[in-house]
Amino acid sequence: MVEITILGGSNEVGRIAILIEANKERFLFDYGIDVQTGNPPIRPEFPLTAMFISHAHIDHSGLLPELYKRGWKGNIYGTKPTLGLCNLLLEDSIKVQRKRGQVPHYHPQHIKIMNSFWKTLDYNKPVEFKNSSARFLDAGHIPGSASPLLETGGKRILYTGDIKFADTKLIKGTRIWDEKIDVLIMESTYHYKNHPDRKELEDDLRELVQNTFYNNGIVLLPSFAVGRTQELLSILQDLGFPIFLDGMGIEATEIILNYPKFLRSPKKLRKAFGKARKIMKSKDRKEVLNKPCIVISTAGMLSGGPIGYYIKRLYQREDCAIALTGYQVEGTVGRRLMDTGRYVNEGLDVKLRMPPHFMDFSAHCGRDNLIKLVKKTNPEKVIVIHGDGTTEFAEELRGMGFDARSPANGEKFKA
């Protein structure tokens, strides 16, 4: 008998954690925090047989060291890029929590302990346990992202993590897997919409940059450090315009370039990164404001990072532009800007005169591909998580004939 408990991520985007129990073995898939509040999922009790991490984004990885703070001594399985990127994001998470006046969930020494228990697992390479086995499938989300497939208790359980089937400039999308699946635990971030054609979107961004540049303006591109910064660099590198990189995306790009086999065109990214001007000191930011250019800076949802420096100094300039290129979680500064046109952050509440744009450069599957995934794998059960309105999407899948559900956080059920 297999029992599954959703510890976090039900009817919400963030703090993903899934516990799977069978044959006296207990596996944890992801262990993230809420990116807006820092709130954790329900804590799993020990013992745990092993932990699998799908990718480094903080809503999936942000609480990993807390396991070791509590005394766990088990192994975490992830890909090579995920380890380096996790270290970067977890260390930053400590800083963010302290800045918010919160007591950090863990400390740097717990990240070091986590590293000592990290086991690298390549795609399609099985790892065996006493009564179970597991392997990673390519998830196509960011470099090194994976979808764990666990075989235990006579069931094949696939947890998608975050997935993307279409190619981007940065990486190739994964294929819809040709696997027999008994239980599919799937993300549903964009279950309600499809994404625009990627090539047309890239052309729109390039046109926005060109028009703003030739109008003597500056283009601000708030960006997630991992994945989006590198994609934007790859899209814009051949325009010949000055590009400034600011924030954690610099170090993230350095880490990602260490793993070229996970990239679609590592030479192009390396060239683009080499040409970009890196802002390493706060005093260097003043120079950026003196001429037309592109600024790629964290944070992607405008909550934190250096991007606020530029917005505060440019928001009254109609010749400049700002483009949000990723998902904006409810309650973030970016979501409020997208919904109201107002930038509200760190004591500033203003209507931007520079036009804000939202460009859907999502690293997630859209609606049609999520449904195609369910139809092709044809699982006995579908568990819908990681989205707003997961209950509604599960109901829709039931209408298509699938045994789909969106269990509440903390709810345990039999697979």
Euclidean distance between CA atoms 217 and 324, whole angstroms: 17
Percent of the chain with pLDDT over 90: 95
In the chain, ranges of CATH 3.40.50.10890 domains: 198-358
* pLDDT per position as a tens digit, 53-109: 999 999 999 999 999 999 999 999 999 999 999 999 999 999 999 988 999 999 999
Does the pLDDT at position 14 exceed 90? no
* pLDDT per position as a tens digit, 332-371: 999 999 999 999 998 899 999 998 999 999 999 999 999 9
CA 51 to chain centre: 18
pTM: 0.96
In the chain, ranges of CATH 3.60.15.10 domains: 2-193+363-414
Question: Which CATH code is given to the segment(s) 198-358?
Answer: 3.40.50.10890
Residue 152, strand partner residues: 132, 155
- Per-residue pLDDT, 36: 85
Q: Which residues are CB-contacts of 74 (< 8 A; sequence separation ≥ 6)?
A: 47, 48, 49, 50, 51, 67, 117
CA 202 to chain centre: 20
Beta strands across the sheet bearing 243-246: 277-279, 243-246, 293-297, 218-222, 321-324, 356-358
- Per-residue pLDDT, 330: 86
Residue 35: which pLDDT band, with cuts at 50, 70 and 90?
confident
Superfamily of domain 2-193+363-414: Ribonuclease Z/Hydroxyacylglutathione hydrolase-like (3.60.15.10)
- Per-residue pLDDT, 77: 98
Euclidean distance between CA atoms 86 and 50, whole angstroms: 17
